[in-house]
Amino acid sequence: MRPLWPFLILAASLLPMSVVYCATFLPLHRAFPLNHTLGLDQLRARDSVRHARLLQSFVGGVVDFSVQGSPDPYLVGVDGSSTPLLYFTKVKLGSPPREFTVQIDTGSDVLWVTCSSCRNCPQSSALGIQLNYFDTTSSSTAGLVPCSHPICTSEIQTAATQCSPQSNQCIYSFQYGDGSGTTGYYVADTFYFDAVLGKSSIANSSAVIVFGCSTFQSGDLTKTEKAVDGIFGFGQGGLSVVSQLSSHGITPRVFSHCLKGEGSGGGILVLGEILEPGIVYSPLVPSQSHYNLNLQSIAVNGQLLSIDPAAFATSNDRGTIVDSGTTLAYLVEEAYNPFVSAVTATVQPSVTPTIYKGNQCYLVSNSVSEVFPPVSLNFAGGASMLLKPQEYLINLGPSNGAPLWCIGFQKAQAGLSILGDLVLKDKIFVYDLAHQRIGWANYDCSLSVTVSVTSSKDFINAGQWSVSSSSRDMLLKLLPPSIMALLMHILALMSLQIL
């Protein structure tokens, strides 16, 4: 294979001011089968399964993905079962490419899909999804990962990765805290995406990545009502797709999402950095397997609560994490009790406090925005997350002639505070792994977003595939057609490289 360095050096000489990445977007979806009300106790039960998985710590340009699903946490299957799935997207793998529906998981690293040889795997899905299975023999570009590959021999290796001497294959086994699990082997094959370089410049691009092929599943992974084709890990490890593509120089080591909180749900998921003037950043707590932030204090209606900062300290099983796989939000007891007391004291006597199934709730005759106070979560680096009432309350419908609103924040059973979809929705979130920080800003996620495609913050608009006039002029000056064609050719060559 011819080396890429001459092409890269030429591109660098033509673009001395910035490094250009491809832009890739994934539309998000969030699926719940039918409109049936789900109680807070059932939501907590669903989240507890999720948290058991988190606590296991089982694994240590711009690309756009579609986002599917509904923002309503009270939608549930007709059988009354708990929430089957949160946000998911679609990926294309193999040659010829096949499409797979995968759950988005910021709590794990590996992308895996179900193998055609999988035992005890679901054959159909109640989510309206046509299940697909990856067949290594049907893909002309698939290659099994041998024991000598770096993921089995180097620092990229995880505790879940092993070598099978009999077959000389690198295999994995993930066991989740809820009793479910998956076993399989690693495959190197082509991953397809749309690389966006500027106005009307959308390249059908690809790169070879390593992902898992699941040959056995157990527990909840086998249930028809929750069945998808696999899991798309967005963790910080070297095996995540974000890390693999960035190691090729195809995308920056950053991803972003904007989850819709109204309407039909869904949103935007981007392998790249969404740019928005109001974004504030807080540093990630180092050496953690999840996205831990240093929560320092909480204010209700501008008044700081009397909470010992030690309650938020990060240790093996304590701290504050951001997790799009959790529906509600959870606070440690030392913070939860003062928080609920402060909210209740602020809204009396305008509402009628009541306890509903063990939850602090309120009968509200007026708009909650007029009655309930703003809440501020204050993080290291001076970054605050301002929450509107709808971002810490849940509407359970009418009761005794008035709407019943309940505190959506729950008391954490362990020492881990978790920021789930309740507070993440209607916000841009940027996971900047290169600079070890997370940023956020309130945003209408039904709108297009602006995404950086160069290190100097030149940008394009994503989400609706449009480019602002100022951005377009900048890109046209920066990337004339001949150079654009050259860069797209370089990307095509880079996609042929194997890890």
User: Known catalytic residues?
Assistant: 105, 323
For 405, the 3-state DSSP assignment is: strand
Q: How far is the CA of 397 from the CAs of 199, 492, 498, in angstroms?
A: 46, 53, 54
Q: In what order do the strands lie in the sheet with 402-407?
A: 352-356, 359-363, 402-407, 393-399
Contact 207, 241 (CB under 8 A): no
Q: For residue 443, what are the contacts with CB-CB under 8 A and spacing of at least 6?
A: 258, 276, 426, 427, 428, 449
- What's the one-letter identity of residue 203? A
The C-alpha atoms of residue 133 and residue 136 are separated, in whole angstroms, by 10
Residue 114 phi, psi dihedral angles, 5° rounding? -75, 130
E strands, 60-200, are 63-68, 87-93, 98-105, 111-119, 143-144, 161-164, 169-175, 181-198
Q: Which residues of 180-205 are buried (b: 16+ CB within 10 A; e: fewer)?
A: bbbbbbbbbbbbbbbbbbbbebbbeb
How far apart CA 123 and CA 121 sit, in angstroms, is: 6
Q: Which class for 445: exposed (0-12), middle (13-18), buried (19 or more C-beta within 10 A)?
A: buried
Tokens 């994503």 sit on residue: 462
CA-to-CA distance for 226 and 228, rounded, in angstroms?
Answer: 7
Q: What letter would DSSP give residue 412?
A: -
Query: What is the three-class DSSP state of 150?
Result: helix
* Identity of residue 14: L
Measured CA to CA, the distance from residue 360 to residue 166 in angstroms comes to 58
For 467, list phi and psi in degrees, rounded to 5. Answer: -130, 130
Residue 291's Cα: distance from chain center in Å?
11
**In 10 A of CB 228, how many CB atoms?**
22
Rg (CA), the chain: 23
How far apart are the two ends of the chain, measured CA to CA in Å?
14
Q: Which has the closest alpha carbon to 123: 215, 212, 227, 33?
A: 227
